[in-house]
Amino acid sequence: MDYEDLLKDIAKKGKEKSTQEWLEKVEEEDGSVPLIYKRMAQRPEVLLSHLLYKSSVSETSTLDPKIVELISLAIGAALNCRHCTEYHMRGALKKGATKDEILEVILLAGSLAQASVLADAYRVIDAGENSCNASCDINGFSYKKH
């Protein structure tokens, strides 16, 4: 559907009916409705804007849909979001990803997430930052640069 037509359809049906239809479509395609969608649906304009953004990004992407799902899976894993990881793993499988591809992106995500933690911590230590201004004292221990 054309973007302008989609907006006209939402305006014609109203936000509540449009939200319900989109949730039904998600459930039909994925077998369930993610909890975040259910919560967003309590404020239909929030869910609709989220789904419009998400669909416009995916529909205009030059990446293969399987690659998009694998990237989404990796990000969900790196962010420690179990639901996102499961949701996008199912999506990746539906789009033809293999178990080996899924394991590979999870390994990559874990490697980058670990590197991010280390890089950030090392920068704090090297800079001698104590951004918590003594509120980080735990059992009498506080960070001091030596």
Domain holding 66, by residue range, is 62-128
Given the structure tokens 């990237």, which residue do they identify? 71
Note whether residue 44 is domain-resident: yes
In a domain, 45, yes or no: yes
| pLDDT computed for residue 74 by the predictor | 97
- The angle formed by the CA atoms of residues 124, 126 and 132, to the nearest 5 degrees, is 30
What amino acid is encoded at 48 in this protein? Answer: L
- Are 92 and 101 spatial neighbours (Cβ–Cβ below 8 Å)? yes
Residue of 136, 94, 79, 54 whose CA lies nearest to 102:
94
Do residues 53 and 66 both lie within one domain?
A: no
Q: What pLDDT score was predicted for residue 38?
A: 95
Assess whether 66 and 120 both reside in one domain.
Answer: yes
pLDDT at 145: 47
Structural domain count of the chain: 2
Same domain as 124, residue 80? yes
CB atoms within 10 A of CB 99: 9
User: Going by C-beta distance under 8 Å and a sequence separation of 6 or more, which residues neighbour residue 3?
Assistant: 56
Q: What predicted TM-score, i.e. pTM, was given to this entire model?
A: 0.73
11 part of a folded domain: yes
Strand partners, 138: 141
What is the mean pLDDT for each group of 10 consecutive residues in the chain (146 residues)?
86 95 92 92 96 89 95 95 92 96 96 91 81 55 51
CA distance 113 to 127: 21
| Separation between Cα atoms, residue 52 and residue 28, nearest integer Å | 18
Q: Copy the structure tokens of residue 128.
A: 């001698």
Indicate whether 66 and 81 sit together in one domain: yes
